[in-house]
Structure 1
Amino acid sequence: MNINATLFAQIIVFFGLVWFTMKFVWPPIAKALDERAAKVAEGLAAAERGKSDFEQAEKKVAELLAEGRGQVAEMVANAEKRAAKIIEEAREQASNEAARITAQAKADVDQEVNRAREVLREQVASLAVKGAEAILRSEVDASKHAALLSNLKQEL
């Protein structure tokens, strides 16, 4: 064999291999590479959308937290106002109850003083009758003297 014939055969085999590769092997590889590039591009786009969505969600969460804090502050303020109102109402009720108890005690004391005066008047009237009986040692008319003692009792 001649080197030229070998070289010529190798060139024909090489070009046949190149043609076979370009016709049957390269299109699926190129298609797979294009699909892979498209998937990578799609993944990058999805990542960018995800990043954007995440930033929007963070903003919304921050807004909701601020709104929630505002509502909590408002609730706390309302609760403090209500507590102050309840305390003031309790103080007012206690003051009214104290005034009522004081008035009742004064009325009870006045009533007891009047009872004591009445008992004292009766005792003084009885002593006056006994004293008059002892002094006079005469007959005492109970009906006449009862009217007099009643008048005396009223004067005392």
Structure 2
Amino acid sequence: MNINATLFAQIIVFAILVGFTMKFVWPPIAKALDERAQKISEGLAASEKAKTELAVANKRVEAELSKSRNESATRLADAEQRAQATIDEAKVRANDEAAKIIAAAKADAEQQVVKAREVLREQVASLAVKGAEQILQREVNAGVHAELLNRLKTEL
């Protein structure tokens, strides 16, 4: 065999192999590589989209947390104000009730003083009459001298 014929045969076989590979083997491989590249690019795009969505969600969560903190602080302040108002109102009612009790006690004490004075006046008048009886050594008629006794009561 001649080297030229062998070389020529090898060139023909190689050309057939290249043609067969380009027609039947290469398109599925290229298609698989293209699909894989497309999946990778879609995955990267989805990853970037997820990152932006995560950032937006984090901002929204922070805003909601801030809003919740502000609302809870406002509610706490309102509750403290209501509690203080209730305490102040209770103090005012207690002071009013104490003033009423003191006024009633003072009025009761004054009534008792008046009663005690009346009793004391009657006792003094009775003692004065008894003293006068003893001094005069005779019996004094209380009915006759009622006007004198009443004047004596008012003077005492």
Q: Normalising by structure 2, report the TM-score.
A: 0.82
Cα deviation for residue 14 of structure 1 reads 1.9
Q: Distance in 2 between matches of 1:139 and 1:89?
A: 67
Whichever residue aligns with residue 8 of structure 2, its letter is: F
Cα deviation for residue 139 of structure 1 reads 4.1
Equivalent residue number for residue 38 of structure 2: 38
Equivalent residue number for residue 104 of structure 1: 104
Equivalent residue number for residue 153 of structure 2: 153
Equivalent residue number for residue 11 of structure 2: 11
User: What are the equivalent positions in structure 2 for 1:1-80 lying under 5 Å apart?
Assistant: 1-80=1-80
Runs of 4+ in structure 1 over 6 Å off: none
Whichever residue aligns with residue 17 of structure 1, its letter is: L
Number of matched residues? Answer: 156
Whichever residue aligns with residue 65 of structure 1, its letter is: L
Q: Distance in 2 between matches of 1:77 and 1:138?
A: 87
Q: Distance in 1 between matches of 2:123 and 2:142?
A: 16
Q: Distance in 1 between matches of 2:78 and 2:62?
A: 24
Cα deviation for residue 41 of structure 1 reads 1.2
| The 10-residue stretch of structure 1 (39-48 or 76-85) with the greater mean CA deviation from structure 2 | 76-85
- Structure 1 stretches lacking a partner, 5+ long: none
Q: Distance in 1 between matches of 2:142 and 2:122?
A: 15
Q: Normalising by structure 1, report the TM-score.
A: 0.82
Q: Distance in 2 between matches of 1:139 and 1:66?
A: 101
Q: Distance in 1 between matches of 2:102 and 2:5?
A: 138
CA RMSD of aligned residues (A): 2.3
Whichever residue aligns with residue 126 of structure 2, its letter is: S
Q: Percent identity?
A: 63
Cα deviation for residue 151 of structure 1 reads 4.0
- 2:121 and 2:153 in contact (8 A); partners too: yes
Aligned residue for 1:144, secondary structure, equals coil
Q: Distance in 1 between matches of 2:52 and 2:140?
A: 121
Equivalent residue number for residue 82 of structure 1: 82
- Give deviations 1:11-64, integer Å, cap 9, x for gaps: 232222222211211111111111111111111111121122122212222322
Q: Distance in 1 between matches of 2:69 and 2:82?
A: 20
- Give deviations 1:39-98, integer Å, cap 9, x for gaps: 111111111211221222122223223322332332233233323323322332232223
| The 10-residue stretch of structure 1 (36-45 or 143-152) with the greater mean CA deviation from structure 2 | 143-152
